Amino acid sequence: MLKHTPNEVTERSALRINPAKTCQPIGAMYAALGIHRCLPYSHGSQGCCSYHRSHLTRHFKEPVMAATSSFTEGASVFGGQPNLLQGLNTVFTTYNPDVVAVHTTCLSETIGDDIPQIVGEAKRQELIPEGKHVFHASTPSYVGSHVVGFANMCTAMANYFAVEIKDTKRKSTDKVQVNIAPGFVDPSDMRELRRLAEGTGLKVTMFPDTSGVMDAPQTGQHIFYPEGGTTVEELQNLGRGVATLGLGWWASREAAIAVEKKAYVPREILDLPIGIGATDRFMAKLQFRGGELTHELENERGRLVDLMVDTQQHFHGKKVAIFGDPDHVLALTEFARDLGMIPVHVLTGTPGKRFVSEAERILGPKAGNIKVEGDLFTLHQWIKAEPVDLLLGNTYGKYIARAEDIPFVRVGWPILDRVGHGLMPTVGYAGAVRLLVKMIDALLDRRDRDSVDHEFELVL
């Protein structure tokens, strides 16, 4: 399928071939779904909203509810204020959400619609009922990526809801609250992060939190607003936290900064806790903020270490290529290094100069190919020039894996051709165990496939 990809890499400044990202509104929509009884609202064309909903549905295998301004030619030329005003009126009278999170698209950004002014006009016309909330994030599709859109929406919700709470005195029986901005991860990851933090005795306010929303149980009845998500009350009480842990520099940093500026809660920016090193740092911060590392949590870590020791001979010296969202890729790169592997190709489609410096810090002076704002065409060329033993990334990597006959482990977002990934965490010690098992299975399956008869072993 990709046999015509040339070996020689030619620098391209304007052309992207199979980019390793998608557009901002998808990330913004996903973040908005992490608020309880929130209806994401796409201020643009109906086609944009339909694409974003369907793409999220294909990964999570869950229905995604969202509204749209349904731009036509007239709105595309003269502006979308009438559409948004009518849309807000329809949304509140028909679907009765507690929160409407508006995100922009290419059309509304190019026109230059002033969303705060339009929302102000909606309030003046009393289209927004008492006690309901409308806020917005600017998410033009032609810059950034879905990770940037997610970050922008998280920052917007922090700016809108977070307030300083001067009376933060706690009773001796009250738990210490820590805020967690989890990054662009699956619902199961958010649930696992909460379990780890609450396992140290802390109270957790996670924003956003798509657990219970994008992995809601099947009950036989359609529930328009599932039970999960961060409540408005929780968002308004972010100021009670002793700290905000932003997990992932790209997806969570700006939201944590916004809480600090609005509610005077100190921020801590950490790597996404995938693998043993990043999870250790996450747990250390929880301990620093008042959490207690229990014997059970220590045992979880010990089981991961034991598995790493049991499998080190199979990982040692194996070359790996990693692509996807920057926070995921950097954490996976560190984990692969800790397993004794050699990450030779590391690529993300999301912009940000920090990616290269962080990857070089992890890999040291012998760092291989590293690229920001890259595409899968470049990754394929790199792999053709220097083959690898394993490929880590989302579903779009399957074409390269097939073309070059490489073992492939699906991790990150989106995973469109398999089911259940969103139900099993990748973060934390338990997530690292799951990821390690997937990686070793892929390598050993390849060894079995290629073994001659007398080397086809029954026992590892």
d(C-alpha 208, C-alpha 215), whole Å: 14
**Range name among 77-81, 170-174, 409-413, 446-450 with the lowest pLDDT average:** 170-174
Using the 3D structure, point to which of 231, 262, 294 is the last residue of a domain.
294
pLDDT bucket at 170, cuts 50 / 70 / 90: low
Contacts of 323 (CB under 8 A, 6+ apart): 20, 329, 345, 346, 347, 348, 374, 376, 379, 392, 393, 394, 397
Cα(182)–Cα(173) distance, rounded to whole angstroms?
Answer: 27
Q: Has residue 256 been placed in a domain?
A: yes
Which pLDDT score is estimated for 251?
97
Compute the distance between CA of residue 151 and CA of residue 252 in angstroms, rounded to an integer.
6
Domain boundary among 124, 143, 162: 143
Determine, yes or no, domain membership for 170: no
Number of H helices, E strands in the chain: 17, 13
Q: What is the CATH number of the domain that holds 137?
A: 3.40.50.1980
Average pLDDT of the residues in 189-201: 97
Question: What is the C-alpha to C-alpha distance for residues 357 and 359, in angstroms, rounded to an integer?
Answer: 6
Kindly tell me if the per-residue pLDDT of 367 is higher than 90. Answer: no
Residue 162 lies in a domain: no
- Residue 412 counted as domain residue: yes
Is 37 in the same domain as 138?
yes
Output the pLDDT for position 227.
92
pLDDT in tens, 282-326: 999 999 999 999 999 999 999 999 999 999 999 999 999 999 999
Residue 397 inside a domain? The answer is yes
In whole angstroms, what is the distance from residue 248 CA to residue 348 CA? 14
Instruction: Determine the structural domain holding residue 385 and report its residue range.
Output: 296-454
pLDDT of 68 over the 60 cut: yes
Chosen domain end from 94, 128, 143: 143
CA distances from 339 to 4, 110, 172, 426 (A): 34, 47, 43, 16
Q: How many angstroms separate the CA atoms of 291 and 427, rounded?
A: 19
Mean per-residue pLDDT for 386-402?
96
Per-residue pLDDT at 63 exceeds 80: yes
Kindly state the tokens that stand for 165.
């709470």
Which tops the pLDDT comparison, 282 or 12?
Answer: 282
pLDDT at 114: 92
- Taking the C-alpha atoms of residue 108 and residue 57, their distance in angstroms, rounded to an integer, is 24
Tally of CB atoms within 10 A around 224: 11
**pLDDT higher than threshold 70 for residue 366:** yes
Taking residues 65-84, what's their average pLDDT? 83
Same domain, 135 and 284: no
d(C-alpha 139, C-alpha 117), whole Å:
17
Residue 167 has pLDDT above 80, yes or no: no
Say yes or no to pLDDT of 1 above 60: no
The Cα–Cα gap between 240 and 455 comes to: 61
Per the structure, the count of domains in the chain is 3
Average pLDDT, rounded, for the chain? 93
Based on the domain organization, do 338 and 371 belong to the same domain?
yes
Confidence of residue 15 (pLDDT cuts 50, 70, 90): confident
> Is the pLDDT reported for residue 255 higher than 70?
yes
